[in-house]
C-alpha cells in the first residue's frame, strides 16, 4: 500500500489489508514512523520511540504471517502507548522527572494482551505527569500541541495519545482515564475515545494515579477500531483484585448485531450555564441526528452533579498522595545528590522529581487524609460518591444511555489555565461523574468550531454495556461520519 | 468561593516528604486554601446513613492459594536502583526513628 | 508511699507460616541471599497491585479460633502511610477497622515454686489481632545503609492484648503461651531469633486502688524473652521511682538498650506521625466463608493446657512429665504416636519421651536438641521397646543401652537384642529364690510392712535382687518370688 493510504486507513482496514497480503507490518510501521519523523516536531505527541524495536517487531509479525501461523486479525498493527502502561524493556516515565531513567522490568496485563494479539507497541506517548492534568502541559518533558491548532492544548491527561491519532502518527492508541483523561483529549483532538467500565480492563501494569477511578481505554479514528482494541485489552485478571470476574460480551461482535434505537437521556444539569455556545449548537445537532435515527430523547436529572468535581478531587488526590509515596529516591527513581541522610533523600528527590501539579495534589491528598480531616473530606466524599452513582442507577431505569457534551468548550490555548487549578479542574466537569460511578463513557467527534477546533459529545452507558454504548456511537458515526483532517 | 480553611503547608510538606521552596510554599498554600474552600460545598450535603463507596461495584477481593511462585533474580529487582551494593539497595545513613 | 501496680499491654507481631507472601506469590524465607525473595509487587514497582493470600488469612483465623476470638463477617484492608526505606510502597497494608480476629483469651501459666511444680494459671484478654505485611531489613554501616526486601510482604499477625498484665513475668508467660499454641497448630514458628515473633510493650504504673490508667511508655521491638522481661522490669522500676519522687511520667516511646540494661526516650520526632489511614482502594473487603472457618476449627490441635490437664487426669502423668511433653508440640506428637502403637503404659512411655529421648537429643546436638526430623528413633519403636519391658522380655536396666543404640541406629529394640544376644534369661529357680531370701533377710522392717498391707514396700527388695542378677532377672518373676517368701515368713 502507498504510505498515504496507510496513514488514512482505519486500523480495522489495515488489519484486513495485512490479512489479504496487500501490505506488510513493516510497510505499515515504516509509514507511521516516517509520519512521526515528519510531524511530531510540531505535535510533540511522543516522549520516545525506538524505530529499530518497532521494525524488529514488525518483521517478526511478517515472519509469523509468512510461516502461515494462525494470527489474530490485528497481528502486526502498531499501537501508540501512553507512557503510563508497563511493557518490559520500555520506558515508563509517566512524563515525570522522577521516573525519567526508569525502564520497566515487567509487562502488565494490558501489555501482555497487546503482545499476545500480535500488536506492536509504538512509542511512548506524552501525558500530564502521572496523569494529573487536563492539557498535557504538566508533562515534565515537552508540550504537546493540538494537531488542529498547535497553539491549543490537546487536552489531557492522555493528550499525546489523542494528538498522535489525530495527527495520523499511529492508527490508534491506548490512554488512561481517571476523570476524563481519555474522553476530554479525544473531544479536543477529534477522535473517538472510550473509558471502559471500572474493572473491565486490568490495572496491573497501569501506573496508579487514583486506584478506584483509573481505567485504561482505547482511542482511535472509528467506533469499530475502538471496539476492536477494547476487546484486546478487556478481561479478568487475577493480578488485579478489582478486576471484574463476570462474563463480558465482546464489543466488536455486539457492534454489528441488529438493535432497536433506544432512549437517550439528557441530564439537565449538563446543559446549563458555562457551556460554550458552539458546543451547545453542535450538541443540539447531535440530538436531532439521534431523533432522526429513531432514538427517543428524554430529559433526566442527575441532581448531585455539581458535587462531582470536589468529590472527585478529594478522592483522587487522597489516593494519589498514597500511590505516589513509592517514588522516593530509594529503589528505582531519580535520587537527589543533595541528600544529607535517608529522610532528606525523600524531601530532595521528591522535591526535584515532581512537577508543580503533582506536588499540589499530593499535598492536597495528604491534607484530606490527615488526622482530624478524614471524616470531613475523604469519608464524606466517598458517601457523596454513593449519591452520584445512585443518580445514574436511577436514571438508567428510564434510559438506555446518557448523552452529554464531553467538554464545556473546545480546546483552550496552551498556558490559558495552567495557573488556575480550579478552572483547569472544571474542564473535566462532564467526564468526572462517570469515573466516580465506574461507568463506561464514550467520546465521539461531532464537528468543528468556527475556529476549526473539534467538538465532541459523550455517551454514558450502563456498567459493562460497552457493546450497546458503541452501537449507539456507531449509529451516529455511520450517519454523520467525521471526515475533517487537521492540516500539518 | 466560601470560607478558606487554614492550611499548614509546612506540616503537609513534611507528611508528603516534599521539599518546597519558599515561593512554592506561598503559591501552594494559597491555591490549596482556594481548593479547600471550593470543597466546602460537600459539607452542606446530608450524608446521614449513606454508605461510603470505596469501589464502584459490589464485588469481593479474590483470594489466592498459598503457593509460592518463582521470585525475581536480585538484578531484575534492582535494575533501576540508583545505587546498589551486594545485591542490596544503598541508602544514605538512616537517622533512627524518622 | 503508696504501693504501685504495673499495667501492661503487649503488641505481639508474629510471622505467619506460609509458602508465599501476603499480597503476592513471591516465596517467604529466612537467611536467603539478599533480594532473592522479591518480585515486582514486593519491590513496589509502579503499576503493581496486591492479591490476598488465602493461606495467610486462614492462619490468622486459626489464631482466632485457638484463642476464642470472634471472626467477623467482613475483613477490610487499610493503608498506613509512612516513609521508611524498608517499606517499598511507603505505606503498609494493614487492618485498621475490620481485623480478622476480635477479642479472645489466652491462658497463661506463671512460673511455679519450682521447676517441678505447676504455677498459677491466669487468663489474659485480647483486644484483637489483625493481618499486615512485614517490612524489609536495613543493615547500617558507618556511612550508609543497605536494604534487603526479602522479608518485605511476609504475612504478619499483630496481636494486641488488653492492658491485662501486671508484671514482666506475666508478659513472658503470655509470649510463651502464644508461642506454644501457634507452634502446635503450625500457625507460626515463633522463632524470636529469626524475628518471627517480636514484641512491643506498653507499660504504666499506678497506685493500687486507682482506677484510671497513668501515662504509658511504649517500648518497641523487644526481640527476645530476656529483652521483654528486663525491659518491662526496668520500666516498672523507673516509673515507680519517678512517682515516688513526686514526678510525672511522659506518654512516649522508649527504646530498650539491652547492653546498657535501661530504656531511654525516643521522643525526637513523635509529633511527625500521622499515618493517614484509609481503606485500600486496590483491595475489596472480603467475606470469608463461615463453613471454611468451621472446617479450620476441626483441624486445630487440642489446646496446650487442655492437653496437659487431660494427660494428668486420664494417664495420671505428673507435672514434671506433662510440662515437658505438652509444652513442646513435637514431643506431644511423638508421645501420641507412641501411645497409638502401645497405649497400656503411658507413664513409662512418657518417661522415656521426656527423659531418655530428650537426653539423647541433647547429647547428639552440641547446643540445644537434635531436630525432631533427624531423630532416627521412631515413636512406634520406642513404644514397642516399652512393651518388651512390660512383657518381661527386656529389663529396664538392659533397656538403657538398647535405647541408646536405637537412638543412634534407628533399629528396633528386638533387633538390637537379637544382634547382641541380650535376653532376659529363664532364671534358675533356686538361684533366684536364694537372692530373694537374702534380700528379705536384709530388711525385716520392710518385710513386716508388706505383711501389714503396704504393697509398695516390696519395691525396696527388687533393687537388690536385680543387682544380684546383674539386671537379668525378670522383675515380674522377682516380685512373685519375693511375695511368696515374705508371706511365708
The model's pLDDT over C197-227, given as tens digits with 9 standing for 90+, comes to 999 999 999 999 999 999 999 998 898 999 9
How far is A385 from A307, CA to CA, in rounded Å?
Answer: 9
> Nearest CA of chain C to the CA of A329: how many Å?
9
Interface of C with A (CB under 8 A): 40, 43-52, 79, 81, 83, 85, 88-91, 145, 147, 274, 276-278, 281-284
Instruction: Decide: C108 and C177 in contact? Cβ < 8 Å.
Output: yes
Residue B55: the pLDDT is 78
Query: Which chains border A (3 or more CB–CB pairs < 8 Å)?
Result: B, C
Packing angle, helices C475-488 and C444-451, rounded to 10: 80
pLDDT confidence of residue A332: 98
On the question of pLDDT at B98 being above 50, the answer is: no
Alpha-carbon gap, residue C393 to A299, rounded angstroms: 100
Q: Give the number of C-alpha atoms closer than 13 A to the C-alpha of residue C450, restricted to the C-beta side.
A: 23
User: DSSP readout, C87-129?
Assistant: -TTSEEEE-SSS-SEE--EEEEE---SSTTS---EEEEEEEEE
Low-confidence ranges of chain A (pLDDT < 70): none
Say whether B15 and C274 touch across the interface (CB within 8 A).
Answer: yes
Quick: pLDDT tens for C115-146: 889 999 999 999 999 999 999 999 999 999 99
CA distances from C226 to C192, C229, C234, C293 (A): 11, 5, 12, 36
Interface of B with A in 32-51 (CB under 8 A): 32, 34-36, 38-39, 41-43, 45, 47, 50-51
- Residues whose CB is less than 8 angstroms from the CB of residue C132 and which lie 6 or more positions away in sequence, other chains included: C22, C80, C92, C93, C94, C95, C156, C157, C158
Identify the residue among A105, A342, A351 best suited for mutation to test binding to C, counting C beta carbons within 10 A and taking the highest. A342
Based on C-alpha coordinates, what's the Rg of chain C?
Answer: 29
| Smallest CA–CA distance from B76 into chain A, residue | A105
| C-alpha torsion A308→A311→A313→A314, nearest 10 | 180
Cβ contacts (< 8 Å) between B51 and chain A: which residues? 383, 386
Q: Which residues pair with C138 in a beta bridge?
A: C147
Closest-CA residue to A398 (of A298, A474, A318, A252): A298
Chain B: nearest CA to C164, how far in angstroms?
28
Chosen from B8, B14, B66, B85 to mutate, greatest number of chain C CBs within 10 A? B66
C319, exposed or middle or buried, with CB in 10 Å at 0-12, 13-18, 19+?
A: middle
B7–A contact, CB cutoff 8 A? yes
Q: Of A266-280, C124-138, C243-257, C261-275, give the lowest mean pLDDT range.
A: C261-275
- Chain C contact for A137 (CB, 8 A cutoff): no
DSSP B45: S
Band (C471; pLDDT cuts 50, 70, 90): confident
Chains touching B, CB cut-off 8 Å, 3+ pairs: A, C
Distance in Å, alpha carbon of C151 to nearest chain A alpha carbon: 15
Residue C392: pLDDT band by 50, 70, 90 thresholds? Answer: confident
**Residue C358: burial class (beta carbons within 10 Å; 0-12, 13-18, 19+):** middle
Give me the active site residues of A, please.
82, 157, 181
Nearest to B17 among C83, C268, C274 (CB): C83
What's the rounded Cα separation, in Å, for the pair A374 and C187? 36
pLDDT of C482: 87
**For chain A, what is the radius of gyration of the CA atoms?**
21
Mean pLDDT score, C172-181? 98
pLDDT at B1: 42
Q: What is the pLDDT of residue C467?
A: 84
Verdict on whether the full-model pTM lies above 0.90 = yes
Tell me what pLDDT residue B96 has.
Answer: 60
Give chain C's mean pLDDT.
93
Examine the pLDDT at C98 and tell me if it is beyond 70. Answer: yes
Q: What ipTM did this prediction achieve? A: 0.97
Residues C9-35, mean pLDDT to the nearest whole number:
98
| pLDDT in the model for residue C433 | 84
Give the pLDDT confidence score for residue C453 in this predicted structure: 84
CB C135 within 8 Å of CB C13: no
- pLDDT tens for C335-351 read 999 999 999 999 999 99
Q: What is the mean pLDDT of residues C27-53?
A: 98
Amino acid at each position: 500500500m502507498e504510505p498515504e493510504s496507510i496513514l488514512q486507513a482505519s486500523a480495522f482496514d489495515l488489519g484486513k489489508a495485512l490479512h489479504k497480503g496487500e501490505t506488510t507490518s513493516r510497510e505499515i510501521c515504516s509509514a507511521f514512523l516516517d509520519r512521526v519523523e515528519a510531524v511530531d516536531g510540531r505535535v510533540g505527541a511522543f516522549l520516545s520511540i525506538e524505530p529499530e524495536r518497532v521494525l524488529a517487531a514488525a518483521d517478526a509479525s511478517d515472519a509469523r504471517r509468512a510461516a502461515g501461523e494462525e494470527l489474530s486479525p490485528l497481528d502486526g498493527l502498531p499501537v501508540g502507548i501512553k507512557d503510563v502502561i508497563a511493557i518490559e524493556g520500555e520506558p515508563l516515565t509517566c512524563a515525570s522527572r522522577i521516573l525519567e531513567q526508569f525502564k520497566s522490568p515487567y509487562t502488565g496485563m494490558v501489555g501482555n494482551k497487546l503482545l499476545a494479539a500480535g500488536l506492536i507497541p509504538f512509542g511512548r506517548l506524552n501525558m500530564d505527569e502521572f496523569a494529573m492534568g487536563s492539557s498535557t502541559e504538566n508533562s515534565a518533558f515537552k508540550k504537546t500541541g493540538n494537531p488542529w491548532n498547535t497553539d491549543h492544548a490537546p487536552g489531557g491527561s492522555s493528550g499525546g495519545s489523542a494528538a498522535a491519532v489525530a495527527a495520523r502518527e499511529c492508527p490508534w492508541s491506548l490512554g488512561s482515564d481517571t476523570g476524563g483523561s481519555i474522553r476530554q483529549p479525544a473531544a479536543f483532538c477529534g477522535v473517538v475515545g472510550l473509558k471502559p467500565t471500572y474493572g473491565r480492563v486490568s490495572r496491573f501494569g497501569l501506573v496508579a494515579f487514583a486506584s478506584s477511578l483509573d481505567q485504561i481505554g482505547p482511542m482511535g479514528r472509528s467506533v469499530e477500531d475502538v471496539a476492536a482494541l477494547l476487546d484486546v485489552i478487556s478481561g479478568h485478571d487475577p493480578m488485579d483484585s478489582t478486576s471484574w470476574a463476570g462474563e463480558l460480551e465482546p464489543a466488536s461482535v455486539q457492534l454489528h448485531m441488529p438493535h432497536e434505537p433506544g432512549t437517550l437521556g439528557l441530564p439537565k444539569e449538563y446543559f446549563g450555564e458555562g457551556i460554550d455556545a458552539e458546543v451547545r449548537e453542535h450538541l443540539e445537532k447531535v440530538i436531532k441526528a439521534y431523533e432522526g435515527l429513531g432514538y427517543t430523547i428524554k430529559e433526566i436529572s442527575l441532581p448531585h452533579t455539581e458535587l462531582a468535581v470536589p468529590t472527585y478531587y478529594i478522592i483522587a488526590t487522597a489516593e494519589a498522595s498514597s500511590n505516589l509515596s513509592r517514588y522516593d529516591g530509594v529503589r528505582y527513581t531519580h535520587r537527589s545528590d543533595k541528600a544529607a541522610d535517608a529522610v532528606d533523600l525523600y524531601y530532595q528527590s521528591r522535591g526535584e522529581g515532581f512537577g508543580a501539579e503533582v506536588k499540589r495534589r499530593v499535598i492536597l491528598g495528604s491534607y484530606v487524609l490527615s488526622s482530624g480531616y478524614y471524616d470531613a473530606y475523604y469519608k464524606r466524599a466517598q458517601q457523596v460518591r454513593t449519591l452520584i452513582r445512585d443518580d445514574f442507577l436511577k436514571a438508567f431505569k428510564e434510559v438506555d444511555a446518557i448523552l452529554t457534551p464531553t467538554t464545556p468548550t473546545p480546546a483552550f490555548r496552551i498556558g490559558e489555565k495552567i495557573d488556575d487549578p480550579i478552572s483547569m479542574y472544571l474542564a473535566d466537569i462532564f467526564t468526572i461523574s462517570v469515573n466516580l460511578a465506574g461507568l463506561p463513557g464514550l467520546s465521539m467527534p461531532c464537528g468543528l468550531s468556527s475556529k476549526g477546533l473539534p467538538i465532541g459529545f459523550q455517551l454514558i452507558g450502563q456498567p459493562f454495556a460497552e457493546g450497546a454504548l458503541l452501537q449507539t456511537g456507531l449509529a451516529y458515526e455511520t450517519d454523520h461520519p467525521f471526515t475533517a483532517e487537521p492540516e500539518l | 468561593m466560601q470560607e478558606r480553611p487554614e492550611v499548614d503547608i509546612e506540616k503537609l510538606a513534611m507528611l508528603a516528604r516534599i521539599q518546597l521552596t519558599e515561593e512554592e510554599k506561598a503559591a501552594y498554600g494559597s491555591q490549596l486554601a482556594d481548593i479547600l474552600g471550593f470543597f466546602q460545598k460537600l459539607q452542606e450535603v446530608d450524608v446521614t446513613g449513606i454508605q461510603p463507596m470505596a469501589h464502584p461495584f459490589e464485588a469481593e477481593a479474590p483470594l489466592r492459594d498459598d503457593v509460592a511462585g518463582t521470585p525475581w533474580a536480585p538484578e531484575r529487582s534492582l535494575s533501576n536502583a540508583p545505587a546498589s551494593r551486594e545485591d542490596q539497595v544503598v541508602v544514605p545513613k538512616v537517622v533512627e526513628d524518622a | 508511699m503508696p504501693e504501685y501496680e504495673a499495667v501492661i499491654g503487649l503488641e505481639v507481631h508474629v510471622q505467619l507460616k506460609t509458602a508465599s507472601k501476603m499480597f503476592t506469590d513471591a516465596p517467604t524465607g529466612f537467611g536467603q541471599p539478599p533480594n532473592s525473595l522479591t518480585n515486582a509487587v514486593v519491590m513496589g514497582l509502579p503499576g503493581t497491585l496486591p492479591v490476598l493470600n488465602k493461606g495467610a488469612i486462614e492462619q490468622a483465623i486459626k489464631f482466632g479460633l485457638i484463642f476464642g476470638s470472634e471472626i467477623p463477617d467482613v475483613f477490610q484492608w487499610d493503608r498506613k502511610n509512612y516513609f521508611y526505606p524498608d517499606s517499598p510502597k511507603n505505606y503498609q497494608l494493614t487492618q485498621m477497622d475490620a481485623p480478622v480476629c476480635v477479642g479472645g483469651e489466652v491462658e497463661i501459666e506463671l512460673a511455679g515454686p519450682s521447676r517441678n511444680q505447676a504455677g498459677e494459671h491466669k487468663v489474659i484478654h485480647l483486644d484483637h489481632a489483625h493481618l499486615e505485611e512485614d517490612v524489609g531489613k536495613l543493615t547500617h554501616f558507618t556511612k550508609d545503609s543497605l536494604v534487603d526486601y526479602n522479608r518485605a510482604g511476609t504475612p504478619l499477625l499483630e496481636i494486641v492484648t488488653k492492658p491485662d498484665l501486671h508484671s514482666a513475668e506475666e508478659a513472658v508467660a503470655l509470649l510463651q503461651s502464644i508461642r506454644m499454641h501457634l507452634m502446635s497448630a503450625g500457625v507460626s514458628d515463633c522463632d524470636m531469633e529469626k524475628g518471627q515473633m517480636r514484641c512491643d510493650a506498653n507499660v504504666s504504673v499506678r497506685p493500687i486502688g486507682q482506677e484510671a490508667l497513668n501515662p504509658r511508655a511504649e517500648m518497641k521491638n523487644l526481640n527476645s524473652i530476656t529483652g521483654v522481661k528486663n525491659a518491662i522490669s526496668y520500666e516498672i522500676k523507673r516509673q515507680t521511682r519517678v512517682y515516688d519522687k513526686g514526678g510525672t511520667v511522659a506518654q512516649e516511646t522508649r527504646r530498650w538498650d539491652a547492653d546498657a540494661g535501661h530504656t531511654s526516650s525516643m521522643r525526637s520526632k513523635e509529633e511527625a506521625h500521622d499515618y493517614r489511614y484509609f481503606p485500600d482502594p486496590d483491595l475489596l473487603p472480603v467475606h470469608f466463608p463461615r463453613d471454611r472457618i468451621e472446617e479450620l476449627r476441626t483441624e486445630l490441635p487440642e489446646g496446650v493446657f487442655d492437653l496437659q490437664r487431660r494427660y494428668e487426669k486420664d494417664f495420671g502423668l505428673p507435672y514434671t512429665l506433662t510440662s515437658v511433653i505438652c509444652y513442646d508440640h513435637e514431643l506431644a506428637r511423638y508421645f501420641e504416636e507412641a501411645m497409638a502403637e502401645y497405649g497400656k503404659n503411658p507413664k513409662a512411655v512418657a518417661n522415656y519421651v521426656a527423659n531418655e529421648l530428650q537426653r539423647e537429643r541433647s547429647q547428639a546436638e552440641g547446643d540445644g536438641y537434635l531436630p525432631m526430623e533427624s531423630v532416627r528413633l521412631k515413636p512406634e519403636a520406642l513404644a514397642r521397646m516399652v512393651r518388651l519391658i512390660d512383657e518381661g522380655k527386656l529389663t529396664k536396666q538392659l533397656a538403657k543401652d538398647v535405647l541408646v543404640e536405637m537412638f543412634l541406629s534407628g533399629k528396633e529394640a528386638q533387633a538390637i537384642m537379637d544382634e547382641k544376644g541380650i535376653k532376659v534369661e529363664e532364671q534358675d529357680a533356686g538361684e533366684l529364690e536364694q537372692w530373694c531370701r537374702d534380700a528379705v533377710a536384709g530388711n525385716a522392717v520392710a518385710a513386716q510392712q508388706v505383711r501389714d498391707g503396704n504393697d509398695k514396700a516390696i519395691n525396696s527388695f527388687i533393687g537388690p535382687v536385680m543387682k544380684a542378677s546383674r539386671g537379668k532377672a525378670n522383675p515380674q518373676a522377682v516380685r512373685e518370688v519375693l511375695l511368696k517368701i515374705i508371706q511365708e515368713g
